[in-house]
């Protein structure tokens, strides 16, 4: 990789009213490199990228692009100078075609050339549909790829990707990574903003860490590791992210005996006890979500028994199970976990609605919700703020807070920290441990093995639609979890349940 500087940021300052968003910030981008920009929510990453892309004007400092000092008054000025930004929020017009969206405002090419260029871009992104396809007919992941295609249209020198994989499936992520690597191979500078540590280490050459709007450090990816990057982001060692494990395990709160579901290959049995956090590990698509939805009551049981405390519930629907003390945090908070048009107050209070008649809703929830927000350290203007105005981490806390406010005793969590920065992760981990220590129990599914190892008391590994093994988290390593998860491989003897 060349060390030629394409872009150099020095002494950058930006304020909004009395808020200092950036202070003495610096960043260097080299030709041919993929450079991650990381930090907790509120670290200033988005503000920095919006300054570079012309959305915000800098207050003071200097931006050099190929040795020339620049300052952009508009996004178009940044694009014309050679900086292309793909933001997480879509800017597509849903009623127009893909081609019309790609070339909106660009009239320098005849329609035949526009179509040929569109077909080329769709092919690079492995999208098998014509450019005349209307955008609103596409999946969210396909729309995200079209947003990326818009950014690729310009022959930019610098490309900025802001959380580009948030809406993408695994295969789409691989396509995007190949495209980003191609850009770097062509000598472009790529800035990659992401919370997803595995992606950063798989893709990026260097990592710059920000905290409180300031530069912290820059690592060569090959010379650092996950723990060191996390510590630089939050100012504390990784092990301090997790609360101490359970000291005392209480009575059984959820018991499944030979429970059967359509998508599970074998009947399964498990117990969740008061005071403990149990992890659910496994490769993608091995039945973790199917098990969670079966326990929550979103898919029907085909046999066996399921007890919440002392009551049989295998024939009860999800609403009834919620009324009996079961809470469910889904993997997709925006699609399945939140009511986007409602306030924090209304979103949190919906968990308490199942055991009540409609007239009892919202009588005296404000003090309770405010207390839950305080315990979860939700950063918001107040209980009446619209939930979609919050950061991803704070939205996730609202979904979790719904069940704290409802007084649930059994909590099922799918990917509880997906898309959440490290600081918010620590707060969520602490609240899950608090929930367990006050008499609840938690079942957590996560694709992040270090998260399960640090958070949980014991871990169940799923393989081919069944629970393959169980182990204490203190004995779990990424190696033996993976060995237990791979279909066709024998379970290591030292962890064989």
Give the chain's domains with CATH numbers: 5-236 (3.40.50.300), 242-495 (3.40.50.300)
Confidence category of residue 371, pLDDT binned at 50, 70, 90: confident
Confidence category of residue 68, pLDDT binned at 50, 70, 90: very high
Nearest CA to 397 among 419, 378, 425? Answer: 378
Distance separating alpha carbons of residues 195 and 87, to the nearest angstrom? 14
So what's the pLDDT on residue 202?
A: 94
Share of the chain above pLDDT 70, in %: 93
The phi and psi torsions of 376 (rounded to 5 degrees) equal -90, -5
**DSSP designation for 380:** S
Distance separating alpha carbons of residues 386 and 346, to the nearest angstrom? 9
Residue 147 pLDDT exceeds 60: yes
Confidence category of residue 493, pLDDT binned at 50, 70, 90: low
The whole-chain average pLDDT of the chain stands at: 87
pTM surpassing 0.75? no
Least confident of 126-135, 220-229, 485-494: 485-494
Count the alpha carbons within 13 Å of 424 in the hemisphere toward its beta carbon.
24
Q: Which residues lie below 8 Å from residue 101, measured CB to CB, with a gap of 6+?
A: 92, 93, 135, 146, 150
Nearest CA to 321 among 355, 276, 365? Answer: 355
Distance separating alpha carbons of residues 85 and 79, to the nearest angstrom? 8
So what's the pLDDT on residue 419?
A: 72
> Per residue in 426-448, pLDDT tens?
888 998 999 999 999 999 999 88
Mean pLDDT of all residues in 210-222: 94
So what's the pLDDT on residue 356?
A: 47
Confidence category of residue 1, pLDDT binned at 50, 70, 90: low
DSSP string computed for 25-68: EEEEEETT-EEEEE--TTSSHHHHHHHHTTSS--SEEEEEETTE
Q: Are the CB atoms for 215 and 208 separated by under 8 Å?
A: yes
Q: Virtual CA dihedral for 103, 107, 111, 114, nearest 10 degrees?
A: -40
> Per residue in 331-362, pLDDT tens?
877 667 788 888 888 888 877 655 544 444 44
Q: Which two tokens stand for residue 291?
A: 């098990």
So what's the pLDDT on residue 190?
A: 96
Share of the chain above pLDDT 90, in %: 48
So what's the pLDDT on residue 189?
A: 96
Distance separating alpha carbons of residues 129 and 137, to the nearest angstrom? 11
Distance separating alpha carbons of residues 360 and 371, to the nearest angstrom? 20
Higher pLDDT, 488 or 183: 183
So what's the pLDDT on residue 53?
A: 93
Mean pLDDT of all residues in 248-274: 93
Least confident of 57-66, 312-321, 477-486: 477-486
Distance separating alpha carbons of residues 65 and 82, to the nearest angstrom? 9
So what's the pLDDT on residue 238?
A: 63
Least confident of 23-37, 99-113, 313-327: 99-113
**Neighbour-count burial for 157-181, b at 16+ CB within 10 Å, e otherwise:** bbbbbbbbbbbbeeebbebbbebbe
């Amino acid at each position: 990789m060349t060390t030629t500087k394409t872009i150099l940021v020095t002494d950058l300052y930006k304020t909004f009213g009395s808020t200092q968003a950036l202070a003495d910030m610096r960043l260097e981008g080299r030709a041919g490199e993929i450079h991650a920009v990381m930090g907790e929510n509120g670290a200033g990453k988005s503000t920095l990228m919006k300054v570079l892309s012309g959305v915000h004007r800098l207050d003071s400092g200097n931006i050099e692009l190929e040795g020339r000092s620049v300052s952009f008054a508009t996004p178009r000025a940044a694009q014309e100078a050679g900086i292309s930004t793909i933001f997480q929020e879509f800017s597509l017009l849903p009623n127009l075609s893909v081609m019309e969206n790609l070339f909106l405002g660009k009239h320098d090419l005849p329609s035949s050339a526009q179509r040929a260029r569109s077909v080329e871009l769709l092919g690079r992104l492995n999208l098998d549909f014509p450019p005349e396809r209307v955008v609103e007919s596409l999946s969210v992941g396909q729309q995200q790829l079209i947003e990326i295609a818009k950014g690729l249209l310009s022959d930019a020198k610098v490309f900025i990707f802001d959380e580009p994989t948030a809406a993408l499936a695994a295969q789409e992520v691989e396509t995007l990574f190949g495209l980003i690597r191609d850009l770097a191979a062509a000598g472009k500078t790529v800035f990659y903003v992401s919370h997803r540590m595995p992606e950063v280490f798989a893709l990026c050459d260097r990592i710059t860490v920000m905290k409180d709007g300031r530069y912290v450090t820059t690592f060569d990816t090959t010379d650092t590791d996950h723990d060191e990057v996390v510590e630089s982001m939050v100012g504390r060692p990784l092990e301090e992210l997790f609360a101490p494990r359970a000291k005392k395990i209480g009575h059984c709160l959820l018991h499944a005996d030979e429970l059967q579901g359509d998508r599970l290959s074998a009947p399964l049995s498990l117990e969740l006890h008061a005071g403990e956090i149990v992890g659910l590990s496994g490769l993608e698509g091995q039945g973790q979500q199917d098990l969670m939805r079966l326990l929550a009551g979103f898919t029907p049981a085909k046999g066996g028994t399921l007890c919440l405390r002392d009551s049989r519930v295998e024939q009860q629907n999800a609403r009834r199970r919620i009324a009996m003390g079961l809470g469910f945090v889904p993997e997709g908070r925006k699609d399945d976990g939140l009511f986007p048009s409602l306030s924090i107050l209304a979103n949190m209070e919906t968990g308490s609605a199942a055991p009540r008649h409609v007239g009892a809703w919202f009588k005296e929830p404000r003090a309770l919700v405010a207390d839950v927000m305080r315990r979860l350290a939700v950063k918001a203007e107040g209980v009446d703020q619209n939930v979609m105005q919050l950061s991803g981490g704070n939205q996730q806390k609202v979904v979790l807070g719904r069940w704290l406010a409802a007084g649930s005793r059994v909590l099922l969590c799918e990917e509880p920290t997906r898309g959440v920065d490290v600081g918010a992760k620590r707060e969520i981990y602490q609240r899950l441990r608090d929930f367990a220590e006050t008499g609840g129990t938690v079942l957590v599914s996560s694709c992040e093995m270090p998260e399960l190892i640090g958070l949980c008391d014991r871990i169940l590994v799923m393989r081919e639609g069944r629970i393959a093994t169980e182990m204490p988290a203190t004995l779990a390593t990424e190696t033996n979890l993976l060995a237990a998860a791979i279909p066709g491989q024998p379970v290591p003897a030292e962890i064989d349940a």
